[in-house]
């Protein structure tokens, strides 16, 4: 199976993020985002299945476990902690595992930034745990916590810090994972719809707070063949594409020209070549997945219903001449069903008082955005330090400055 992808390599990543401090906040998918970035900063290889599945290990590709993980008792509870860090002569990347977008633990993380080194880029997402593990009526709590989180960022971070909010990727109809404890398994089929609604709120709020939004749900809506069998996580090719999208967005925000030509990716070759660091068992267990055609019957069974996606009989679909049978044919170019500008307008018409927004807000109206990325500002390249940075963080020690 072949598909076209933007080419981003080790050289692109190291030059763009030279002398930069990158922070990744979120769940296990965000952990894989961190891992792929750390790997790409060192070599042009893909993550192995084992590296994607591992959590809390003492070291991954020259990084170190600073807090939590295997240093304490491993568990699937909401109090699980894991802080990882990779540091080279000219790069610093840190990951915090969080299960709620705003909590006492998140406040402690933000205090690290207040009193220590300020991040140049924060890549954040928190959704699946928020909407499943704390409150069955999650909407109000999620909105309030998002507002508290963005308010705290505005208070603590300098204007130059680039904050990218990742929207949550599509869930499968049948899911399993560490967050899915027995008490909530009966609600699992509904989570993929809840994620769409949560994405609407978080994407709209992030935009209202003038933070950048990367719509990974939109980007991967037709790439379900890259999702793993648990219905939640994604394979190495998907994560390299996420890294590519993030780096392109960072380059655009900083006004840096980063050529990323289209290349044809052969999935079977990637799985079989030792240079890409894939174990043989991954190729054997995933061969059927990578030969998957997303437009066949399997996709129809796992796709979202039109009645749910159109949000109050969205006329946007009729304007583009959508018909369900034709839409699933490969000859039809898909349109952005999950375009949050249109969702906002329909919800605003239905409910004139959107009091959950922090201030009066006009929907984002740039019609020709290529990646459904929202960027309110063009930022000048920010270089907080240009000298060789001393080692400030001992392995498995304190990470506070």
Would the pLDDT of 360 be above 80?
A: no
CA dist 79 → 74, 76, 186, 219 (Å): 10, 8, 23, 31
* Of 205, 235, 202, nearest in space to 127 by CA: 202
Would the pLDDT of 24 be above 70?
A: yes
Higher-confidence position of 73 and 117: 117
pLDDT at 57: 95
- Find the DSSP H helices in 3-119: 10-16, 28-40, 49-53, 104-115
**Do residues 225 and 303 touch, judged by C-beta distance below 8 A?**
no
Q: How large a percentage of the chain has pLDDT more than 70?
A: 65
Least confidently predicted of 82-86, 175-179, 204-208: 175-179
Band of residue 1 on the pLDDT scale cut at 50, 70, 90: low
Band of residue 291 on the pLDDT scale cut at 50, 70, 90: very low
CA dist 218 → 67, 170, 191, 203 (Å): 34, 8, 17, 12
Instruction: Tell how far CA 207 is from the center of its chain.
Output: 16
Q: Give residue-wise pLDDT tens across range 211-220.
A: 999 999 999 9
Which pair of structure tokens corresponds to residue 69? 């993980």
Higher-confidence position of 376 and 36: 36
The residue-averaged pLDDT of 97-103 equals 95
> Which residues, 6+ apart, have CB-to-CB distance to 398 below 8 Å?
66
**Do residues 165 and 125 touch, judged by C-beta distance below 8 A?**
yes
Band of residue 348 on the pLDDT scale cut at 50, 70, 90: very low
What is the C-alpha separation between 398 and 225, in angstroms, rounded? 40
- Find the DSSP H helices in 62-187: 104-115, 128-132, 138-156
What is the C-alpha separation between 349 and 79, in angstroms, rounded? 40
Q: Give residue-wise pLDDT tens across range 302-323.
A: 433 333 333 333 333 333 343 4
Higher-confidence position of 160 and 324: 160
Residue 203: Cβ-neighbour burial (10 angstroms; 0-12, 13-18, 19+): buried
Domains and CATH numbers, the chain: 2-374 (3.40.50.1110)
Would the pLDDT of 329 be above 50?
A: no
Higher-confidence position of 154 and 382: 154
Q: Give residue-wise pLDDT tens across range 183-203.
A: 777 777 788 899 999 999 999
> Which residues, 6+ apart, have CB-to-CB distance to 67 below 8 Å?
81, 82, 83, 399
pLDDT at 134: 87
Q: Give residue-wise pLDDT tens across range 48-76.
A: 999 999 999 999 999 999 999 999 888 88
Instruction: Tell how far CA 378 is from the center of its chain.
Output: 21
The label of the residue with tokens 């069903």 reads 337
Which pair of structure tokens corresponds to residue 241? 């594409």
> Which residues, 6+ apart, have CB-to-CB distance to 110 below 8 Å?
152, 153, 156
């Amino acid at each position: 199976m072949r598909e076209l992808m933007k080419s981003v390599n080790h050289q692109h990543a190291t030059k763009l993020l030279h002398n930069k401090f990158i922070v990744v906040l979120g769940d296990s998918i965000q952990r894989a985002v961190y891992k792929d970035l750390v790997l790409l900063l060192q070599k042009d290889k893909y993550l192995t299945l084992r590296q994607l599945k591992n959590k809390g290990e003492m070291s991954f590709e020259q990084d170190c476990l600073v807090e939590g993980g295997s240093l304490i008792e491993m568990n699937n509870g909401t109090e699980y902690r894991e802080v990882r860090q990779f540091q080279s002569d000219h790069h610093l990347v840190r990951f915090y595992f969080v299960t709620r977008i705003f909590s006492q633990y998140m406040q402690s993380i933000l205090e690290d930034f207040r009193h220590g080194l300020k991040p140049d880029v924060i890549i954040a997402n928190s959704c699946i745990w928020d909407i499943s593990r704390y409150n069955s009526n999650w909407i109000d709590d999620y909105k309030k916590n998002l507002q508290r989180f963005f308010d705290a960022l505005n208070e603590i971070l300098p204007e130059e810090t680039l904050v990218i909010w990742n929207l949550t990727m599509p869930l499968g109809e049948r899911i399993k994972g560490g967050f899915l404890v027995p008490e909530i398994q009966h609600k699992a089929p509904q989570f993929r719809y809840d994620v769409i609604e949560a994405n609407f709120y978080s994407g709209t709020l992030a935009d209202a707070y003038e933070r950048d939004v990367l719509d990974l749900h939109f980007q991967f809506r037709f790439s379900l063949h890259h999702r793993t069998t648990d219905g939640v996580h994604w394979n190495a090719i998907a994560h390299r594409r996420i890294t590519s999208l993030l780096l392109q967005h960072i380059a655009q925000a900083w006004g840096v020209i980063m050529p990323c030509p289209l290349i044809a990716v052969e999935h079977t070759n990637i799985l079989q070549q030792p240079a890409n660091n894939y174990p043989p068992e991954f190729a054997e267990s995933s061969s059927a997945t990578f030969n998957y055609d997303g437009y066949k019957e399997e996709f129809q069974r796992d796709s979202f219903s039109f009645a749910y996606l159109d949000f109050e009989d969205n006329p946007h679909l009729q304007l583009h001449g959508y018909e369900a049978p034709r839409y699933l044919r490969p000859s039809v170019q898909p349109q952005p069903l999950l375009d949050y500008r249109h969702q906002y307008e329909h919800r605003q018409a239905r409910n004139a008082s959107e009091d959950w927004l922090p201030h009066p807000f006009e929907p984002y109206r740039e019609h020709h955005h290529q990646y459904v990325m929202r960027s309110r500002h063009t930022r000048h390249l920010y270089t907080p330090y240009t000298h060789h940075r001393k080692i400030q963080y001992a392995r498995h020690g304190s990470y506070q400055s």
